[in-house]
Every structure is written in structure tokens, then in C-alpha cells.
Amino acid sequence: MLAVCMTLIDNDKDQTSFEDFYYRNRQIAYAFAYKILNNSALAEEACANAFFSIAKCFKKIHNYSLHDMDAYLIRTIRNACYAIYNKENQNPASSIFDLKVEDEPSEDFYDDIDLDLLIDAVRKLDDKLKSVIAYKVYYDLTADEIAQIMGISKRTVFNYLNKAKRQILDLIGGDRFE
């Protein structure tokens, strides 16, 4: 890992300085990461990501005081830990469209549904919620594609989809379908 970081630094003096910084702080960084993640492999990954990130901008920060460098390292480790934690704990079925459905809905489902009521419920939604539903259902776009088109985050796309689902269920008497 150190060798990869060293390739990002051009100057020999800066490489030596980074190497000293790495050996002085690697155990502290690992302990801090392990405290957040409670997993050895994830803590090592967070440390590698943090030192890699620091190596990329080491030319800018190598003149910081020792105290400021340590603070910068802790912030970088913390951010790397949270990024890994969020990636690991991401709910794979975070959208109603990602859930497994039965091959054929029951006959009762079609008898109970009133399409006019459903259409009216969708029409009553805010424009942003209607847009997200149209992109997802009609155009069959992924959350990433929708986010890019609308200029919002992927998480916001999922929030809009879930909000639209709740509002539609409220408007059509969703307690029958849950």
C-alpha cells in the first residue's frame, strides 16, 4: 500500500516525508478506523483509502504543522470509514422496484384495483414525484440515470420514489394492499 502511495508523490524529499508520516501514524489510523467500523478488514481498507487520499494531495499539505497533519489524517480516516460503512450497510432492496415480486399477481388484486383512482392519485402528486415515477416506470431508467437527468442525488431519487408510493397508497386507501 505504501508503494502505491509513493508513486503518487514526485519529489524524493516529499516521498521521505510521506513515508515518515505513514510509519508514524499507521497504527493510530488503524485503531481509529477499527473503533468506528469494528471490523479488521474494513479498518485496513479505510486506512488504505485515507493514506491514498492524503498521498494524492501531499504536495499541498506537507508543510502543515505536525498537529494540523494529524488532524487532517483523523478527518480523512473518519470520512473513509463513513464511506465504507455506508457502502457496507446499503440496503439492497431500497426501492419498491427492487423488491422481488411474485410471477403473477393474485386475481383478487385486479378485482380490487380501480385504475381511475390510481391515475387520479398519480396526477395529484408533485411534479418532481411524477417525473421520477415516469423515468423509473415508463422509461425504465436506473436511479443513477434519473439522478443525473434531474440533477439530484441517487438517495433523493429513492426518497422521491418512496414518498410517491406512500402518497399514492394514502390516496387510494393503501391499507387494502399492504
According to the model, what pLDDT value does residue 162 have?
A: 92
Q: Are 92 and 98 in contact (CB under 8 A)?
A: yes
Q: What mean pLDDT comes out for the span 125-139?
A: 87
User: pLDDT digits over 142-164, tens only?
Assistant: 888 888 888 899 999 999 999 99
Q: Which residues contact 57 (CB under 8 A, 6 or more apart)?
A: none
Q: Are 9 and 60 in contact (CB under 8 A)?
A: no
Cell digits for 33? 478506523
- Residue 136 burial (C-beta neighbours within 10 Å; 0-12, 13-18, 19+): buried
Q: What mean pLDDT comes out for the span 21-40?
A: 91
Q: Are 171 and 121 in contact (CB under 8 A)?
A: yes
CATH topology for 2-88 is Rna Polymerase Sigma Factor; Chain: A (1.10.1740)
d(CA 159, CA 113): 25
**By C-alpha distance, which of 175, 165, 162 is closest to 118?**
165
According to the model, what pLDDT value does residue 121 have?
A: 86
User: pLDDT digits over 35-83, tens only?
Assistant: 989 999 999 999 999 999 988 888 888 788 888 888 888 999 999 999 9
**By C-alpha distance, which of 27, 43, 55 is closest to 82?**
43
According to the model, what pLDDT value does residue 89 have?
A: 78
Q: What mean pLDDT comes out for the span 17-35?
A: 90
Domain boundaries, the chain: 2-88, 107-176
Mean pLDDT over all residues of the chain? 81
- Tell me if the domain spanning 107-176 has CATH number 1.10.10.10: yes
d(CA 121, CA 171): 6
Identical topology for domains 2-88 and 107-176: no
More confident residue, 149 or 108: 149
Give the pLDDT band of residue 98 (cuts 50, 70, 90).
Answer: low
